[in-house]
A = this chain, B = another copy of it.
Amino acid sequence: MERRRFLVKAGGALVAAGAAVAVDAPNVIAQPSFNWRLAHSFPPSADILDGGAKRFAKIVEEMTGGRMKIQVFAGGELIPPFGVFDAASQGTLDTFMSASYYWAGKEPASQWFTAMPFGMNAQTQYAWYYHGGGVQLWEETYAPFDLVPRPGISTGHQMGGWFKRKINGMADLKGLKFRIPGLGGKAYAKAGVTVVLTPGGEIFPALERGVIDGTEWVGPHDDTKFGLHKAAKYYYFPGWHEPGTTGEFAFSKKAYDKLPKDFQRILDYAAQATALNGLGEYETKNAIALEKLKAETKGKVEILQFPAEVVRGMRKLAAEVVKEEAEKTPIAKKVHASYTKFQALMSDWADISEAPYHQLERKA
């Protein structure tokens, strides 16, 4: 072992060399330790997201040989779920995992990095981040907040949500009390829906007692964990309001800048690995939950497609909402332009690749 011999002999010389260690003796390098705290915005019961944050921490620890440890806190354990952005921005928190559309009030542009109504699906969105300039635009958007963003786990395509009554046309939306946040909610409001923002923990009782007529949440895995299938009969698809919801990791610039370059890159690529793994986990667990839902609720739950009239109507209203958001700030306008152009380009390709693939009979 060449290396060991070097260490035995070189110890003293190395000491004498002092700070010039790395130059003269590349095999022995000072390895500082870092202990970071990550807070996310989700309840611990959101197992794929909470588990994804923990997987990210584990990956970083493994790749740094234990020299960087990240302690993970679920929403509210250390910081209120929606306090993570400010905490990391101010440098009192090292990093957080969340969804950028929660920060629409700080900068409307942030919404494009999570999901847009009738926008991109997960696969296309990741292509935009890495090959369509998405990450650079996101960095530009977060720079004023001293935050370094990285794409996180995507939930994949979301479901349209749970309704207590059948939706046969746009007229059925009028006066409906529906729980939905964000741009999807703004579009529904234009259709005459009474949009409510029931917090996560109160959705089930509100739906069960008829305080609300319906709600969207995520997809079969998370929705059935909430018990929503026990409180509403009609489960609608597709989730036009969030076709590929992608989460985020964001590092406090202050904390990130203190890291050696190799640790910075380890964080960057750990986020990418966590993203690929997490999307796969969502897809798999949604498929399993859907199978279970079908088996357990035969005749009790109907899984239905939104009628064409509703999709067309909501498409028009959502486009108005998106346009309004894009006009709010110069960076929102810029991000919207990039997103829209990329989506159109990719749609033409999807029309002869992924779209017809999904029309194939794929089961053996």
Contacts and interface: CB of A to CB of B under 8 A. Distances in A.
Contacts of A346: 283-284, 287
Given A123-B279, A219-B353, A354-B157, A63 B266 contact: yes
A62 B265 contact: yes
Nearest to A130: B280
A277 interface: yes
B22 A283 contact: no
Given A122-B123, A130-B281, A358-B354, A33 B22 contact: yes
A337 to B, nearest CB: 10
A332 B67 CA distance: 41
A362 B345 contact: no
A319 interface: yes
Interface string A260-285: 11100110011011011101110111
A123 B127 CA distance: 13
Contacts of A355: 358-359
A19 B22 contact: no
Interface in A5-21: 6-7, 10-21
Contacts of A349: 220, 283, 286-287, 290
A124 interface: yes
Interface string A285-321: 1111011001000000001010000011001000100
Given A17-B15, A345-B288, A356-B237, A272 B277 contact: yes
14 contacts: A3-B32, A7-B10, A12-B13, A26-B66, A28-B29, A131-B277, A159-B352, A238-B356, A272-B272, A272-B277, A275-B276, A287-B346, A287-B348, A343-B364
Given A286-B353, A343-B362, A343-B364, 16 more contacts: A7-B30, A15-B19, A22-B32, A27-B32, A29-B67, A65-B260, A120-B362, A126-B276, A127-B280, A127-B281, A130-B276, A131-B285, A238-B357, A243-B357, A273-B273, A283-B346
